[in-house]
């Protein structure tokens, strides 16, 4: 426990020493611009997302966009994004690959991109950014972006200052995956939901693989989004747990966390403090303002986490915390489509609707028969959590068709309680090899089971129907 507390103190201390643009919830940057935050895995065919980003950057003819490759180990994703922008109508001469990176791309023999790490400190690079209407951060490792864009003491480089000026004056700053994570401070850079629930935080970060294992890892991001922590690849990588843990840790600064699905954009309009969603998936908004944590438990024990889910067509006012659900959706309260009695428990990948949002919407929000559903997560030692999702009088569900006959769901006020559990798993049957001269009654006595159980389980016709070397099943208690 002492080690864990020390780790948390180190994380907090690291963030407090930074002098970059960090704003508590409700503090204003007075930006006229827009943040275009994509949850990763952006498809080149997602025209709606590309068209909107281009529009916010000034339109096809006027948009001048710089692409920053820092997060990636090579230039492929940056070149691909530029190619996509050209495909959607931006003139090639209006696009620029900004030379900001920390690693060399081995495929470019004539250039060592690792020498670009100091470029964000150069005025000529900052001047290029000043002439842009939009900037895009590609995906990869978000710690490479912050390493490239911040000075050693954590303060802004001149390139980052230029980016802030562009944003405040009406420009758009966008990014996908790692380029989404850097939008907030604190910045989630590693760990899984189970790792965060069981072990909290770590101050150790190896490489990009750390994003997929272990406790939560937090660094200071670039701080453009001032209303909470941003997480990405959200439902696909089951990151609800780590967002809850991290949001609660920084509850004195932010009361909410924002999880963005893949191939989906959360657009924040600085002039109105409003958020809208476009793309394939949705945004999960975690509200921990009323959450209560039991600090006696090493594993996470928490009650009254409020979950809200918005989709394309929905809006959220980050200042007033009001939700505006698309008028194409109908309220499900009192008109639930399903009547499936409980208990309803998710047991893993073979469960129906096994992603978090689907599990909640189909089994709870749009199911008249139950008021709560459960799921479990645990590690190889059986240490984990029970997740109890509940609907109350405050819960509102909404349904409508999306893209033909695809179900679209939004919801507000779903309550989540997290309780520590320890799970014991044992085989239902033991495989036993019959020895020479061994009779069935001897095997039954040895394992303290009845002869009848052995006959039935192994589909044996009589007690003599076994032979040496034969493998039979023994029931386990």
Which residues partner with 463 through β-bridges? none
Average pLDDT over every residue of 201-215:
83
Closest CA to 298 of 230, 397, 197: 197
When pLDDT is averaged across residues 253-270 and rounded to a whole number, the result is 97
Interval 411-436: pLDDT, tens:
999 999 999 999 998 899 999 999 99
> Judging by beta carbons within 10 Å of its beta carbon (0-12, 13-18, 19+), is residue 473 exposed, middle or buried?
middle
Residue pLDDT, tens place only, 98-144: 999 999 988 898 888 999 999 999 999 999 999 999 999 999 999 99
**Alpha carbon distance 265, 115 (integer Å):** 32
What distance in Å separates the CA atoms of residue 147 and residue 71, rounded to the nearest whole number? 10
Say whether domain 429-475 belongs to CATH 3.40.50.10470. no
Look at residues 265, 289, 287 and name the one whose alpha carbon lies nearest to residue 275: 265
Q: How many CB atoms lie within 10 A of CB 4?
A: 14
Structure tokens at 335: 């008109």
Q: Which of 231, 140, 245, 252 is nearest to 188 (CA)?
A: 231
3-state secondary structure (DSSP) of residue 228: coil
pLDDT tens for each residue of 10-30: 444 444 434 444 445 545 567
pLDDT of residue 29: 66
Region(s) of the chain under CATH 3.10.350.10: 429-475
Quote the tokens at residue 339: 């009547």
Mean pLDDT confidence for 386-407: 96
Task: DSSP letter for 365, please.
Answer: I
Taking the C-alpha atoms of residue 290 and residue 103, their distance in angstroms, rounded to an integer, is 43
pLDDT-derived band at 7 (thresholds 50, 70, 90) equals: very low
Report the largest interatomic distance among the alpha carbons of the chain, rounded to a whole angstrom.
Answer: 90
Give the range among 205-209, 234-238, 294-298 with minimum mean pLDDT.
205-209
pLDDT at 8 over 60: no
Q: Name the residue among 174, 181, 183, 117 with its Cα closest to residue 149.
A: 117
- Higher-confidence residue of 389 and 15: namely 389
- Residue 227 in this model has a pLDDT that exceeds 80: yes
Q: How far is CA 73 from CA 37, 103, 355, 419, 476, in A?
A: 21, 6, 30, 40, 51
Looking at every residue in the chain, the average pLDDT score rounds to 93
| Residue 409 backbone dihedrals phi, psi, to 5 degrees | -125, 140
168 pLDDT band, cuts 50/70/90, is very high
What is the distance between the alpha carbons of residues 245 and 200, in angstroms, rounded to a whole number? 7
- The pLDDT score that the predictor gives to residue 217 is 96
162 three-state secondary structure:
helix
pLDDT at 49 over 60: yes
The span from the CA of 38 to the CA of 178, in Å, is 9
Nearest 5°: the CA angle 234, 235, 239 is 55
Which residue, 243, 230, 124, 159, is CA-closest to 195? 243
Q: What is the mean pLDDT of residues 444-455?
A: 96
CATH 3.40.50.880 occupies which residues in the chain?
2-322
* pLDDT over 90, % of the chain: 86
Span 49-67, average pLDDT: 98
Q: Tell me the C-alpha distance between 374 and 281, whole Å.
A: 23
Please give the average per-residue pLDDT across 438-446, as a whole number: 96
**In angstroms, rounded to a whole number, what is the distance separating the alpha carbons of residues 346 and 223?**
36
Tens digits of residue pLDDT in 103-114: 998 889 888 899
2-322 architecture in CATH? Answer: 3-Layer(aba) Sandwich (3.40)
Dihedral of alpha carbons 30, 31, 34, 38, sign: negative
Residue 158: helix, strand or coil by DSSP? Answer: helix
The per-residue pLDDT for range 269-289, each reduced to its tens digit, is 999 999 999 999 999 999 999
User: Cα(215)–Cα(229) distance, rounded to whole angstroms?
Assistant: 17
Predicted local confidence at residue 346, as pLDDT: 93
The pLDDT of residue 25: 52
- Ranges of beta strands (E only) in 191-282 are 201-202, 216-219, 229-231, 256-260, 264-269, 274-279
For residue 12, the model assigns a pLDDT of: 45
Classify strands 216-219 and 201-202 as parallel, antiparallel or unpaired. Answer: parallel
């Amino acid at each position: 426990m002492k080690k864990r507390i020390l780790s948390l103190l180190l994380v907090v201390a690291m963030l407090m020493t930074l002098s970059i643009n960090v704003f508590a919830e409700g503090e204003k940057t007075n930006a006229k611009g827009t943040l275009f935050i994509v949850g990763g895995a952006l498809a080149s065919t997602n025209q709606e997302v590309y068209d909107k980003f281009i529009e916010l950057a000034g339109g096809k003819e006027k948009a001048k966009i710089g692409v920053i490759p820092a997060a990636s180990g090579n230039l492929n994703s940056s070149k691909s994004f530029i190619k996509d922008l050209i495909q959607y109508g931006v003139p090639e001469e209006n696009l620029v690959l900004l030379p900001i990176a920390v690693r060399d791309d081995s495929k470019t023999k004539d250039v060592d991109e690792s020498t670009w790490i100091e470029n964000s400190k150069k005025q000529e690079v900052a001047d290029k950014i000043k002439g842009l209407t939009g900037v895009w951060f590609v995906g990869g490792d978000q710690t490479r972006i912050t390493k490239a864009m911040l000075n050693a003491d954590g303060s802004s480089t001149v390139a980052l200052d230029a980016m802030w000026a562009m944003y405040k004056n009406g420009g758009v700053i966008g990014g996908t995956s790692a380029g989404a994570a850097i939008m907030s401070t604190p910045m989630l850079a590693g760990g899984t939901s189970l790792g965060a629930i069981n072990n909290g935080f770590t101050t150790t970060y190896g490489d990009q693989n750390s994003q997929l294992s272990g406790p939560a890892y937090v660094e200071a991001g670039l701080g453009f989004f001032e209303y909470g922590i941003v997480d990405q690849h959200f439902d696909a990588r089951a990151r609800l747990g780590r967002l809850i843990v991290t949001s609660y840790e920084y509850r004195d600064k932010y009361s909410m966390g924002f999880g963005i699905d893949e191939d989906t954009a959360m657009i924040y309009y600085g002039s109105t403090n409003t958020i809208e969603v476009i793309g394939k998936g949705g945004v999960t908004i975690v509200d921990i303002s009323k959450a209560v944590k039991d600090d006696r438990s090493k594993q996470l024990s928490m009650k009254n986490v409020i979950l809200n889910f918005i989709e394309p067509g929905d809006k959220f006012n980050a200042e007033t915390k009001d939700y505006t659900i698309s008028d194409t959706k109908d309220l499900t309260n009192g008109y639930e489509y399903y009547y499936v009695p409980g208990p309803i428990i998710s047991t893993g990948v073979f469960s129906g609707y096994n992603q978090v949002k689907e599990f909640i919407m189909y089994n709870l929000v749009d199911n008249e028969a139950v008021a709560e559903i459960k799921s479990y997560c645990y590690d190889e030692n059986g240490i984990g959590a029970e997740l109890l999702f509940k609907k109350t009088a405050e819960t509102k569900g909404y349904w409508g068709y999306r893209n033909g006959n695809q179900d679209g769901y939004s919801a507000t006020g779903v309550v989540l309680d997290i309780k520590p559990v320890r799970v014991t798993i044992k085989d239902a049957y033991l495989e036993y090899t019959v020895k020479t001269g061994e009779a069935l009654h001897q095997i039954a006595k040895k394992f303290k089971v009845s002869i009848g159980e052995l006959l039935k389980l192994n589909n044996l016709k009589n007690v003599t129907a076994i032979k040496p070397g034969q493998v039979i099943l023994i029931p386990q208690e």
